[in-house]
């Protein structure tokens, strides 16, 4: 009887409670909350550090790739006219009046250069037009259209006005269009830029192709080395490991320069070939300052990133797996293909992903040994950051690169599974 | 000396030697003939060369000298995958990226069997080890004992005549190990295969084998049936390694046939059974099994004074450590029967043993 009454007083079946009658889930959450809070406190410094030094700058750069306020901030009257006029409207007297007013203000505030630079991204050669017109703004009198035409006949070019329209709003996708060798024509349609100005897509393709080539090369070089490392007795494998890691501990600059010494036309390799009579003196092979140089040097530099993940998956593979396969009737090739190789796939995936992502963003080595046709997209991003100061363009290129890498990462997760990634 | 290769010999080791470094021999002049359908166990401490012998038979190590014959054919130059020998590894070596079914199907696939035939054979092999419901599992989802069964089924699925087992039960707990011993023994009896089994566990060897080869230092010390091995060890290593054993140093006074009279260190004399001792006047080692010693003996042969030093209660018997003939480590197993002798530590008593239970072995 006592048993029945106690179960009747208890909660509905399926809802477990503690001895005090608190629901079990609540009690569990309360018990674990303390541990969770303490764990959070431990990672908080790192979290803040990453937010401040990593997430925030990247977010800001990504924002910059779609946001450039220099034109609308400094040319309010012109922007107002552009907003009222539909796309394709030829600039009328009112438009030039507004332009003249804005340029007068720009001359006083010394912002004509900023505005000119912004329009110049879309319409090359326009920066000097803006600075010249701003200097002469006081002398521009009605009729404005004729006055501007006197200064420079390009002021009435519909393409210039399309360019100003494109820059009139602070938020724009034009940098992305430009990064993909696209632009807007007078009517506002997206079109390809002229052939001699198409550089970015070609460079993206080259970057991906070279990175893929380097990944494949490092795989074929690293697989046997990693296998040797994993199967040699510890005494020998430690020595070999030091040889593999030696490049890791050497400065990137030293390693790259060493390749210049080896591969240049008066370098060690060419001199040896000429001395041995394999190559004529006047036909020295050009192995550096081109794509070959980039591929050779980067393959060497990125090799450890392939060897180490492979080694870390190969080391724990018990040799008895292959022995078992052999005893079950498999030839050594079948045993490798069916038993050994599949167990190394997580390492191959990790190594390939690591090498590929590093190669896609590589900068110093191609800059030093790439010559003109061995440059990668990161060299162009650096150019826009430091030389042309078109940060929005640099940000757009970097964002496309980032998106590409994330797509690859997603693909990897779908095909192999990210939890299979083994880095060490 | 070469082994007599009789008709029954299925596996023959003929003067096989093995060295890894060119300086020491791991296996010294091994001669061994294994009959078809026999269950032979290679028993020995680690480093005794037993696993090396198995690996040479499987083809993973090459013999430095000598010849190994399988069914009359020399196999030294046949690669492991063409020897058709099933093998069970200590670590089981189940392929982790394949399901149980795929693991079992692998040896059939590489032999080019067609799909339906493969499926029937895999099913039959799984049922043989009572694992029929587990074909879709991964090895990591199985317990140690289940993995062991799968490894066994995989070594048998392609119907080899010879199966090698390298300490296959080493990773299991005691109860499961004993259970699997019987299962392997029954499989061997039902299938009529030849099994070469390597272990360092003597009870495992005694339980399962037709014959046991005791290895030490690269040499077979004794090759005999489990009963002979236990009852009639030929040298002190075997006596010591198989079962428990009391050793008393002695000197031979006289010898008539196999009956010897020996003098023990304290000057008393006793009678023993000569096995591998020298002639009159030479030193010998008496080997007496603890369970063959009687407390309070009826007759006076080999009876002597003893002092109880330690008592350990083990359920089915009581283990007594006594001081006998100057030896402080003289062990006697007293059965836990209703008429048990109530010994106490420090008590003085008498113990004795039959002359044929005291085996006079050579000193080495």
Q: Do A326 and B59 touch (CB under 8 A)?
A: yes
Of the candidates B93, B95, B110, which has its C-beta nearest A329's C-beta?
B110
Residue B234's pLDDT band, with cuts at 50, 70 and 90, is confident
Closest C-alpha among B329, B294, B96 to residue A321: B96
Reduce the secondary structure of chain A to three states and give it as a string: CHHHHHHHHCCCCCCCECCCCCEHHHHHHHHHHHHHHHHHHHHHHHHHHHHHHHHHHHHHHHHHCCECCHHHHHCHHHHHHHHHCCCCCCCCHHHHHHHHHHHHHHHHHCCHHHHHHHHHHHCCCHHHHHHHHHHCHHHCCCCHHHHHHHHCHHHHCHHHHHHHHHHHCCECCHHHHHHCCEEECCCCCEEECCHHHCCHHHHHHHHHHHHHHHHHHHHHHHHHHHHHHHHCCHHHHHHHHHHHHHHHHCCHHHHHHHHHHHHCCCCHHHHHHHHCCCCCHHHCCCCCCCHHHHHHHHHHHHHHHHHHHHHHHHCCCCHHHHHHHHHCCCCHHHHHHHHHHHHHHHHHHHHHHHHHHHHHCCCHHHHHHCCCCCCCHHHHHHHHHHCCCCHHHHHHHHHHHHHHHHHHHHHHHHHCCHHHCCCC
Of A338 and A90, more confident: A338
- With contacts defined as CB-CB under 8 Å, which chain B residues touch A323? 58, 60, 80, 87, 89, 93
**pLDDT value at position A143?**
86
Q: With cut-offs at 50, 70 and 90, classify the pLDDT of residue A9.
A: very low
Decide if pLDDT at B1 tops 80.
Answer: no
Q: Give the number of A-B residue pairs with CB atoms closer than 8 Å.
A: 68
In a shared domain, residues A41 and A74: no
Q: Is residue A273 part of a domain?
A: yes
Whole-angstrom distance, CA of residue A406 vs CA of residue B199? 54
Question: CB distance from B80 to chain A under 8 Å?
Answer: yes
For residue B89, which residues of chain A lie inside 8 Å, CB to CB? Answer: 320, 323-324
Asked if the Cβ–Cβ distance from B93 to A323 is below 8 Å, we say: yes
Contact between residue B360 and residue B262 where contact means Cβ atoms under 8 Å apart: yes
Measured between beta carbons, the chain A residues lying within 8 angstroms of B81 are: 326-332, 335
| pLDDT class of A123 with cuts at 50, 70, 90 | confident
Contacts of A348 in chain B (CB under 8 A): none
Tell me if B158 and A334 make a contact (CB, 8 A cut-off). Answer: no
pLDDT digits (tens, 9 = 90+) for A38-78: 999 999 999 999 999 999 999 999 999 999 998 999 999 99
Residue in the structure block whose two tokens are 């690591």 = A354
Q: How far apart, in whole angstroms, are the C-alpha atoms of residue A356 and residue A54? A: 21
Q: How many CB atoms lie within 10 A of CB A21?
A: 9
- Summarised one tens digit per residue, pLDDT across range A142-166 is 888 888 888 888 888 888 888 888 8
Residue B47 at interface with chain A, using a CB cutoff of 8 Å: no
Please report the pLDDT score of residue A183 as a whole number. 83
Q: What topology does CATH give the domain B9-236?
A: Rossmann fold (3.40.50)
CB < 8 Å to A334, chain B: 110
Asked if residue A254 is part of any domain, the answer here is yes
Residues A372 and A284 in one domain: yes
Distance to chain B for A352, nearest Cα, Å: 21
C-beta separation of B321 from B330 below 8 A: yes
> Residue B2 has what pLDDT?
39
What are the pLDDT digits (tens) for A347-374? 898 899 889 999 998 988 899 998 888 8
Q: Which of A197, A227, A262 is the last residue of a domain?
A: A197
A139 with A256, same domain?
no
Pairing of strands B65-70, B73-74: antiparallel
CA distance to partner chain A, nearest, from residue B82 (Å): 6
pLDDT at A146: 87
Please report the residues numbered 306 through 335 in chain A whose beta carbons come closer than 8 angstroms to any beta carbon of chain B: 318, 320-321, 323-332, 334-335
Shortest Cα–Cα distance, B294 to chain A (Å): 50
Closest CA in chain B for residue A338: B106
Q: Which among A327, A332, A334 is the nearest to B87, CB-wise?
A: A327
CA distances from A78 to A99, A101, A263, B274, B350 (A): 5, 9, 57, 122, 124
Q: How far is A355 from chain B (nearest CA, A)?
A: 25
Distance from CA of A333 to the nearest CA of B (A): 11
The answer to whether B79 faces chain A, any CB pair under 8 Å, is yes
Are A146 and A250 contained in the same domain? no
- Among A64, A79, A108, the domain-final residue is A64
pLDDT of residue A13 exceeding 80, the answer is no
Q: What is the DSSP pairing of strand B194-199 with strand B162-166?
A: parallel
- A209 and A336 co-located in one domain: yes
Domain boundary pick from A144, A162, A197: A197
Q: Do A320 and B111 touch (CB under 8 A)?
A: no
**Ramachandran quadrant class, B79 (left: phi over 0; alpha: psi -120 to 50; beta: rest):** beta
Q: What is the pLDDT of residue B3?
A: 42
Burial degree of B296 (CB within 10 A; 0-12, 13-18, 19+): exposed
Q: Which residues of A touch B60 (CB under 8 A)?
A: 323, 326
Domain assignment of residue A1, yes or no = no
Q: How far is CA A202 from CA A100, A121, A160, A177, B112, in A?
A: 40, 19, 27, 14, 49
What is the torsion angle, in degrees rounded to the nearest 10, for the CA atoms of residue B342, residue B344, residue B347 and residue B353?
50
Query: Domain limits at A156?
Result: 70-197
The A residues from 188 to 247 touching B (CB cutoff 8 Å) are none
Residue A2 domain flag: no
Binned at pLDDT 50, 70 and 90, residue A7 comes out as: very low
Q: With pLDDT > 70 as the criterion, what percentage of chain B qualifies?
A: 96
Task: Using the predicted structure, report yes or no on whether residue A396 has a pLDDT greater than 50.
Answer: yes
pLDDT tens digits, B165-176: 999 988 888 888
Q: Please list every residue in chain A whose beta carbon sits closer than 8 Å to the beta carbon of residue B91.
A: 318, 320
Residue A92 pLDDT: 87
pLDDT digits (tens, 9 = 90+) for B198-219: 999 888 999 899 999 999 988 9
Encode chain B in three state secondary structure. CCCCCCCCEEEEEEEEEECCCCCCCCEEEEEEEEECCCEEEEECCCCCCHHHHHHHHHCCCCCCEEEEEECCEECCCCCHHHCCEEEECCCCCCCCCCCHHHHHHHHHHCCCCCHHHHHHHHHHHHHHCCCHHHCCCCHHHCCHHHHHHHHHHHHHCCCCCEEEEECCCCCCCHHHHHHHHHHHHHHHHHHCCEEEEEECCHHHHHHHCCEEEEEECCEEEEEECHHHHHHCCCCHHHHHHCCCCEEEEEEEEEEECCEEEEECCCCCEEEEEECCCCCCCCEEEEEECHHHCEECCCCCCCCEEEEEEEEEECCCEEEEEEEECCEEEEEEEEECCCCCCCCCCCCEEEEECCHHHCEEECCC
A26 found inside a domain: yes
Are residues A189 and A333 located together in one domain of the fold?
no
Distances (CA, A) of A148 to A96, A103, A154, B1: 8, 11, 9, 116
Q: Which tens digit of pLDDT belongs to each residue from A204-224?
A: 999 999 999 999 999 999 999
pLDDT, mean of residues A86-108: 88
Q: Bridge-partner residues for B333, per DSSP?
A: B319
Residues of A in contact with B96 (CB under 8 A): 343
Same domain, A139 and A44: no
Nearest CA-CA distance, residue A212 and chain B, Å: 27
Beta-carbon separation of B158 and A329 below 8 A: yes
Task: Please list the residues that pair with B87 across neighbouring strands.
Answer: B164
Mean pLDDT to the nearest integer, A262-281: 90
Task: Report the chain B residue with the minimal C-alpha distance to residue A318.
Answer: B93
Mean pLDDT within A339-345: 93
Judge whether B86 is closer than 8 Å to chain A, CB to CB: yes
Tokens of A35: 């541990």
Q: Are residues A173 and A234 in the same domain?
A: no
**Residue, of B272 and B340, whose pLDDT is higher:** B272
Superfamily name with CATH number, domain B244-361: Nucleic acid-binding proteins (2.40.50.140)
CB distance A209 to A221 below 8 Å? no
Could you give the dihedral angle defined by the CA atoms of residues B21, B22, B26 and B32, in that order, rounded to the nearest 10 degrees? 140
Which of B78, B79, B88, B97 to probe by mutation at the A interface, max A CB count within 10 Å? B97
The total of structural domains in chain A comes to: 3
Task: Measure the N-to-C terminal CA separation of chain B; round to a whole number of Å.
Answer: 23
Confidence check: pLDDT of B99 > 60: yes
Judgement on whether residues A96 and A54 belong to the same structural domain of the protein: no
Judged on CB neighbours under 10 Å (0-12, 13-18, 19+), B311 is middle
Residues from chain B that touch A326, judged by Cβ atoms under 8 A, are: 59-60, 79-81
List the domain boundaries for chain B.
9-236, 244-361
The beta-carbon neighbor of A329 closest among B81, B89, B95 is B81
Shortest distance between the Cα of A374 and any Cα of chain B, in A, equals: 41
Cβ neighbours of B84 in A, within 8 Å? 329
Q: Give helix A341-360 / helix A391-415 axis angle, nearest 10°.
A: 170
The verdict on a CB contact (< 8 Å) between B80 and A325 is no
Same domain, residue pair A276 and A382: yes
Is B80 in Cβ contact with A327 (below 8 Å)?
yes
Strand duo B348-352 + B294-295: pairing: antiparallel
Give contacts of A233 with chain B, Cβ < 8 Å. none
* Of the partner residues B81, B86, B111, the one whose CB lies closest to the CB of residue A326: B81
Same domain flag for A127 and A259:
no
Q: Residue B328 corresponds to which tokens in the numbers above? A: 């402080």
* Span B284-308, pLDDT tens digits: 888 888 888 888 888 777 888 889 9
CB-CB neighbors (< 8 A) of B79 in chain A: 326, 331-332
Q: What is the pLDDT of residues B331-359, one digit of tens each?
A: 998 888 766 567 888 888 888 888 888 88
- B121 vs A: CB within 8 A: no
Same domain, A303 and A191: no
Q: Is A342 on the interface with B (CB under 8 A)?
A: yes
- Domain of residue A251, CATH code: 1.10.3720.10
Residue A326 to residue B84, Cβ atoms within 8 A: no
Report the pLDDT averaged over residues A223-233. Answer: 92
Cβ pair B80:A320 closer than 8 A: no
Tokens of B308: 């109880």
- Contact of A329 with B104, CB cutoff 8 Å: no
């Amino acid at each position: 009887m006592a048993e029945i009454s106690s179960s009747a007083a208890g909660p509905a079946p399926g809802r477990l409670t503690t001895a005090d009658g608190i629901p079990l889930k609540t009690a569990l959450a309360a018990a674990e909350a303390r541990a969770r809070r303490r764990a959070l406190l431990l990672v908080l410094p790192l979290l803040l550090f990453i937010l401040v030094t990593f997430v925030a700058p990247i977010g800001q750069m990504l924002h910059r790739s779609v946001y450039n306020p220099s034109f609308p901030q400094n040319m309010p009257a012109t922007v107002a006219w552009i907003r009222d006029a539909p796309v394709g409207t030829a600039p009328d007297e009112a438009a030039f009046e507004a332009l003249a007013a804005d340029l007068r203000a720009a001359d006083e505030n010394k912002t004509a250069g900023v505005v000119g630079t912004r329009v110049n991204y879309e319409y090359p050669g326009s920066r000097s037009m803006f600075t010249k017109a701003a200097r002469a703004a006081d002398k521009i009198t009605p009729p404005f259209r004729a006055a501007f035409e006197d200064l420079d006949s390009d002021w009435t070019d519909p393409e210039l006005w399309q360019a100003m329209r494109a820059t009139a709003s602070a938020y724009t996708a034009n940098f992305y269009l430009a990064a993909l060798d696209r632009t807007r024509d007078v009517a506002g349609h997206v079109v390809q830029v002229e052939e001699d100005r198409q550089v970015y897509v070609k460079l993206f393709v080259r970057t991906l192709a070279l990175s893929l080539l380097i990944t494949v090369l490092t795989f074929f070089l690293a697989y046997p080395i990693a296998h040797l490392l994993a199967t040699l007795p510890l005494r020998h494998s430690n020595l070999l490991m030091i040889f593999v890691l030696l490049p890791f501990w050497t400065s990137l600059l030293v390693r790259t320069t060493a390749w210049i010494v080896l591969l240049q036309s008066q370098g060690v390799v060419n001199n040896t070939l000429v001395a041995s009579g394999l190559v004529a003196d006047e036909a020295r092979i050009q192995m550096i300052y081109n794509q070959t140089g980039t591929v050779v040097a980067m393959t060497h530099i990125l090799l450890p990133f392939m060897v180490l993940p492979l080694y870390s998956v190969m080391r724990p593979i018990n040799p008895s797996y292959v022995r078992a396969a052999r005893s079950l009737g498999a030839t050594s090739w079948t045993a490798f293909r069916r038993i050994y190789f599949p167990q190394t796939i997580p390492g191959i995936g990790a190594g390939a992903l690591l090498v590929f992502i590093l190669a896609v963003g590589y900068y110093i080595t191609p800059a030093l040994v790439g010559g003109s046709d061995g440059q990668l997209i990161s060299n162009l991003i650096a150019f826009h950051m430091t030389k042309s100061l078109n940060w929005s363009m640099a940000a757009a290129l970097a964002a496309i690169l980032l998106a590409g890498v994330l797509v690859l990462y997603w693909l990897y997760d779908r095909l192999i599974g990210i939890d299979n990634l083994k880095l060490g | 000396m070469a082994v007599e290769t009789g008709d029954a010999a299925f596996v023959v080791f003929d003067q096989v030697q093995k060295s890894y470094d060119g300086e020491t021999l791991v296996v010294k002049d091994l001669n061994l003939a294994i009959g078809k359908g026999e269950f032979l166990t290679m028993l020995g401490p680690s480093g005794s060369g037993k696993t090396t012998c198995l690996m040479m038979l499987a083809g993973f190590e090459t013999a430095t000298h000598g010849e190994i014959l399988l069914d009359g054919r020399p196999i030294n130059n046949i690669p492991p995958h063409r020897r058709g020998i099933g093998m069970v590894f200590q670590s089981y070596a189940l392929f982790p990226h394949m399901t149980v079914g795929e693991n079992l199907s692998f040896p059939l696939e590489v032999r080019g069997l067609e799909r339906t035939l493969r499926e029937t054979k895999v099913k039959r092999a799984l049922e043989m080890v009572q694992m029929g419901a587990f074909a879709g599992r991964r090895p990591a989802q199985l317990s140690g004992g289940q993995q062991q069964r799968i490894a066994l089924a995989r070594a048998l699925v392609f119907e080899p005549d010879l199966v090698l087992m390298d300490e296959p039960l080493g990773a299991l707990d005691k109860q499961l190990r004993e259970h699997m011993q019987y299962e392997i023994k029954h499989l061997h009896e039902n299938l009529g295969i030849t099994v070469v089994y390597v272990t360092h566990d003597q009870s495992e060897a005694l339980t399962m084998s037709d014959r046991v080869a005791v290895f030490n230092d690269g040499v077979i010390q004794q090759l005999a049936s489990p009963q002979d091995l236990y009852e009639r060890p030929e040298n002190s290593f075997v006596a010591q390694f198989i079962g428990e054993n009391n050793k008393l140093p002695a000197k031979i006074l006289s010898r008539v046939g196999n009956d010897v009279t020996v003098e023990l260190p304290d000057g008393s004399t006793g009678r023993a059974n000569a096995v591998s001792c020298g002639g009159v006047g030479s030193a010998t080692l008496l080997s007496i099994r603890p369970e063959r010693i009687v407390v309070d003996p009826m007759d006076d042969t080999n009876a002597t004074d003893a002092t109880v030093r330690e008592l350990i209660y083990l359920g089915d018997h009581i283990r007594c450590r006594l001081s006998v003939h100057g030896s402080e480590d003289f062990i006697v197993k007293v059965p836990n029967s209703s008429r048990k002798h109530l010994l106490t530590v420090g008590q003085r008593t008498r113990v004795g043993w039959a002359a044929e239970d005291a085996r006079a072995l050579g000193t080495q």
